[in-house]
Amino acid sequence: MKYSHAKVKTLDTCNYPGRPVRVEIDGKGMDIESVVDHWHEAYNDPSFYPQEYFKVITSDKKIYILRYCTLFESWWGSELGDIA
């Protein structure tokens, strides 16, 4: 799966980085209609910085995986395709 750098706007919550509400990937901005799934990578090594993932449906009716890199505090996104 190929990820592209993304700009993500999140809701201010007590859970960092927050729930994504808008994403811009490759210059295309989309509102996020729903977060379908949310998970973290799990490692036994506490020195490893785990990634955080969100599976979302955007306003253009496509499914994306958004990955938050905790080490660099950056967002990445990959399109999975249209809603079936």
> How many helices (DSSP H) and strands (DSSP E) are in the chain?
0, 6
Q: Taking CA 7 as the corner, what is the angle to CA 78 and CA 61, rounded to the nearest 5 degrees? A: 50
Going by pLDDT thresholds of 50, 70 and 90, the confidence category of residue 41 is confident
Taking all residues of the chain, what is their mean pLDDT, rounded to a whole number?
Answer: 90
Per domain, the residue ranges of the chain are: 4-82
The arithmetic mean of pLDDT across residues 57-70, rounded, is 95
* C-alpha R_g of the chain: 13
With a cut of 90, say whether residue 77 has pLDDT above it: yes
Going by pLDDT thresholds of 50, 70 and 90, the confidence category of residue 48 is confident
Residues 6+ apart with CB under 8 A from 47: none
Predicted confidence at residue 74, as pLDDT, reads 94
Predicted confidence at residue 29, as pLDDT, reads 96
Single pTM value for the model? 0.88
Predicted confidence at residue 79, as pLDDT, reads 95
End-to-end CA distance of the chain: 19
Predicted confidence at residue 58, as pLDDT, reads 97
Instruction: Compute the distance between CA of residue 24 and CA of residue 39 in angstroms, rounded to an integer.
Output: 21
Instruction: Compute the distance between CA of residue 74 and CA of residue 49 in angstroms, rounded to an integer.
Output: 12
